[in-house]
Every structure is written in structure tokens, then in C-alpha cells.
């Protein structure tokens, strides 16, 4: 089981590169190969390796666990051990319930995750997950500022943000270098206002996370962002 914590409890000898412990301890091996050894005292493990390069568990004759990380080694041995396996998931902020599985939806690590199905919905940078649901699929909507405030489904395949931005701002601005229309395009993972004369004119600007509030003297729009106002052309000083 890949997404599970393996737990081992017993009278163990715990060896690291600089010390040895002996006691009745709990050894946890997380899915990312983090190994934690807990005793009865306090919250901090008595030994650990975070995201070990390798974890080997031997149980033919007694119990042995050996974890390596770079030049460090953690070894746990015991004559007898109790063991259990517990399915685990990411933990995050609840943002609703899945209409498909009935399980919780959480926001964690830049995505909304359906804990029951394991489905991840990556969020756009700066997105706010809303209480409102998408009328088509029932997933939560998110608010994203890209020139204007857009409310779209967290499932980008259901209600693409690019389409909403394109409908609102495609050809709305002119290229400052050649006068051609700026088209809303996605290139190399970035949402851009790119010159329609490409490749003859390679002018393109990343659309910032903010809303248009004014016009710059250079002819491009001014955005209100989390760090203040800026021209679509991030190098422009004529605002």
C-alpha cells in the first residue's frame, strides 16, 4: 500500500551514527520514506531520517529496519515486533464535499483533493476557493484575478480559465512594438498577451495576478496586484 504509514512497536535497539538507544518505542515509516522513532517522552522523536534515500525492512529472523540518507544511517532492531499499516492522505483545509464520492474535499499543496477518490485539482496561483459550486459538475468554483475577477470551476477541463480570459481580453490591447493585436495565448505553461504578428514580432507579456484598473501612458493596461499597481509590461516605468 503506497499511501500508508507503517507502524512498528516493541522493545527495540535504535542506532544512529553517533548514539544508541534502547526502549519500548514506536517506529513510523511514512510514504515519503521519512522514518520516526518515538518514545514516551515529549513530542520530538528520539531518532529520525527525513525522506530517506532508502528504507529496508527485514523480518525473517527478528525485526530489522535500516534507513539511509546520504552518509547517515538509522537502524532499528528487535527480537519481536508488533506491526500495523494505516492508510493516510494529505491533510488540508476542508472546502466542501465531493458530489461523486461523498467524501471530503480539502485544499492542500496548491490543489483541491478529493480524499476518497484521490483526485487532485491543481489550482491557479492566487486562486481563492469559493463556496459556490460549478453548475455543470458540482465541484467548487475558484476566483482568479487575471485582468478581471473570474469565477471558474476548479476542474480546468470543465471550465478553463484560459477561455474566460481570452473571451474578455483577446485583441483588447495593441502591441507597443508593432501595433498588431495582442492575443491571449498559453505558451510554456504561462498565460500571455502575445503579439498576433508572431513570429515576426515576438513581443509577449505575462498576464499578472490582478485586475485592470487604469491605462498606462505606454498604451498598455495597468493592473492592481497584491504588491501594488504595475503595467502589463513589467519593465515599463511610464505608468
Per the prediction, the chain carries an average pLDDT of 93
- Check pLDDT > 50 for residue 146: yes
The H or E element that residue 163 is part of is helix 161-169
Handedness of CA 87, 81, 47, 24 (dihedral sign): positive
- Check pLDDT > 70 for residue 238: no
- pLDDT score recorded for residue 90: 84
- Yes or no: say if 4 and 85 are a contact pair by the CB < 8 Å rule: yes
- Beginning with the edge strand found earlier in the chain, give each strand of the sheet holding 204-206 in spatial order: 182-187, 190-195, 204-206
Confidence class for position 1, pLDDT limits 50, 70, 90: very low
Q: In whole angstroms, what is the distance from residue 119 CA to residue 111 CA?
A: 10
pLDDT tens sequence across 23-72:
999 999 999 999 999 999 989 999 999 999 999 999 878 899 999 999 99
Q: In whole angstroms, what is the distance from residue 176 CA to residue 166 CA?
A: 19
- Yes or no: say if 205 and 193 are a contact pair by the CB < 8 Å rule: yes
- Yes or no: say if 195 and 221 are a contact pair by the CB < 8 Å rule: no
Confidence class for position 239, pLDDT limits 50, 70, 90: low
What's the alpha-carbon Rg for the chain, to the nearest Å?
26
Q: In whole angstroms, what is the distance from residue 229 CA to residue 224 CA?
A: 5
pTM for the full model?
0.73
- Region 6-31: mean pLDDT is 96
- Region 161-180: mean pLDDT is 95
Strand extents, DSSP E, 70-220: 72-78, 82-87, 93-97, 104-108, 111-114, 120-122, 128-133, 140-147, 149-153, 182-187, 190-195, 204-206, 210-215
Collapsing DSSP to helix, strand or coil, 167 comes out as helix
Amino acid at each position: 500500500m503506497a499511501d500508508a504509514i507503517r507502524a512498528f512497536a516493541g522493545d527495540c535497539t535504535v542506532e544512529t551514527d553517533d548514539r544508541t538507544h534502547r526502549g519500548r518505542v514506536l517506529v513510523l515509516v511514512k510514504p515519503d520514506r521519512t522514518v520516526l522513532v518515538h518514545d514516551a517522552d515529549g513530542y520530538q522523536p528520539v531518532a529520525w531520517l527525513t525522506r530517506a534515500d532508502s528504507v529496508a525492512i527485514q523480518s525473517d529472523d527478528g525485526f530489522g529496519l535500516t534507513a539511509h540518507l546520504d552518509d547517515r544511517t538509522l537502524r532499528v532492531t528487535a527480537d519481536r515486533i508488533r506491526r500495523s499499516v494505516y492508510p493516510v492522505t494529505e491533510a488540508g483545509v476542508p472546502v466542501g464535499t465531493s458530489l461523486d464520492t461523498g467524501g471530503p474535499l480539502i485544499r492542500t499543496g496548491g490543489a483541491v483533493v478529493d480524499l476518497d477518490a484521490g483526485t487532485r485539482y491543481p489550482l491557479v496561483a492566487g486562486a481563492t476557493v469559493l463556496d459556490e459550486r460549478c453548475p455543470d459538475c458540482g465541484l467548487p468554483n475558484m476566483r482568479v484575478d487575471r485582468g478581471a475577477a473570474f469565477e471558474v470551476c476548479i476542474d480546468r477541463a470543465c471550465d478553463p480559465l484560459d477561455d474566460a480570459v481570452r473571451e474578455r481580453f483577446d485583441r483588447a490591447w495593441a502591441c507597443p512594438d508593432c501595433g498588431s493585436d495582442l492575443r491571449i495565448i498559453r505558451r510554456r505553461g504561462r498565460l500571455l498577451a502575445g503579439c498576433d504578428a508572431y513570429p515576426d514580432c515576438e513581443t509577449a507579456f505575462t498576464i499578472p495576478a490582478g485586475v485592470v484598473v487604469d491605462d498606462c501612458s505606454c498604451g498598455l493596461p495597468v493592473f492592481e496586484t497584491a504588491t501594488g499597481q504595475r503595467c502589463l509590461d513589467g519593465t515599463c516605468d511610464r505608468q
